[in-house]
Structure 1
């Protein structure tokens, strides 16, 4: 991040008084953060498997997103009756037991 900030300073070529530099630092911090977020979002979308999709309802709020995961085929979907189920044993409410169906 420090490298990106120094690169932005060189690219902008800001010269001027100390107050102008201080004012531009606050905008620079925002732009550095925004550039990093855009880079992270692009990396996230590139690394997701084809069965996952990310949707950003509001592009200005990157912390709010929807992740949709779909199975590649019907055979990968677990059958509800065959999946292990966890439930509380009625005799002892402090322990969980696992129940599987054959």
Structure 2
């Protein structure tokens, strides 16, 4: 399975599948979609109304990756479960942090 993120010179872009009203805020590992793409599974307590879930996802990723909230932005998928998120920062450090978060969940 491939990683659901791509690096760039300024950071990385992450493919997500978001579950709003998921009971808790958390990262649930990596999943392969039926079309073969890999996504990072994320759940948030917020409802998908007025962008609340999107804001919760951005805050969760910023906290989990140890970057300021201003470094995380929504690229696409504002009204979809499938989203593309951009994270600014050191690509190598961000990739390692994501890998550790995803592995911790897949072993649990």
Instruction: Classify the TM-score, shorter chain.
Output: under 0.3
Which of structures 1 and 2 has the bigger CA Rg?
A: 1
1 or 2, which has the higher strand percentage? Answer: 2
- Give TM-score, length-normalised by structure 2: 0.24
- Structure with the bigger RCO (C-alpha within 8 Å, sep 6+) is 2
1 or 2, which has the higher helix percentage? Answer: 1
